[in-house]
Amino acid sequence: MLLLKELPTSKSLEKFVTRYPGTDISAISDFVSILRAASDMSSALDTLLARHGLLQGRWWVLVLLMRQDDLTSSPSALAEKAGVTKATMTGFIDGLEREGLVSRFMDTNDRRKFLIRLSVAGQQKLDEVMPVYVQCVTQFMGVLGKPQRNTLIADLATLASRVDLIK
């Protein structure tokens, strides 16, 4: 993922208007500011997780498995919930399995399929990282009051509901 680090200057945005008449530079500026904030948050999470030997993709797989009553899921269900391809999910699972954080076993209902289960070591890893994650996220989100967060979440949900306009 490309992390946006430099926001456009007003001078560079004026070039857009000159070259592409009718450009709403305020909308462009606001859009890239939101992308920048998301990039910064993603980068900060990467840094936090790296201190514990994890990457975001693998972290979310562990969290998704922990959310299951039986700590088990199919790779395709994990891929769907994480919003990644099955091939990407296979890579995450392979790495987690090598480290003993998950186990792969045959589905007893359909022997053509495998299931993934959070291992004891995987749960221990979550138990090690989750308190730090919760503390950092709580402190970070505490910068905004609850009413501000509610407004932000509602506004982001509105934008997300129209993301098809970008595609």
pLDDT 10s digits, 21-74:
888 888 988 998 898 899 899 999 999 999 999 999 999 999 999 999 999 999
pLDDT 10s digits, 92-145:
999 999 999 999 999 788 778 899 999 999 999 999 999 999 999 999 999 999
C-alpha 132/C-alpha 155 separation (Å) is 28
- pLDDT (0 to 100) of residue 2: 56
Q: Is the pLDDT of residue 5 over 90?
A: no
Per-residue tokens: 126: 């979550």
The pLDDT confidence band at residue 1, using thresholds 50, 70 and 90, is low
C-alpha 160/C-alpha 59 separation (Å) is 24
**Residue ranges per structural domain of the chain:** 25-161
Cβ atoms within 10 Å of 64's Cβ, excluding its own = 17
Output the pTM of the full model: 0.84
Q: What number is the average pLDDT over the span 68-84?
A: 95
Q: What is the CATH number of domain 25-161?
A: 1.10.10.10
- pLDDT (0 to 100) of residue 4: 64
- pLDDT (0 to 100) of residue 132: 97
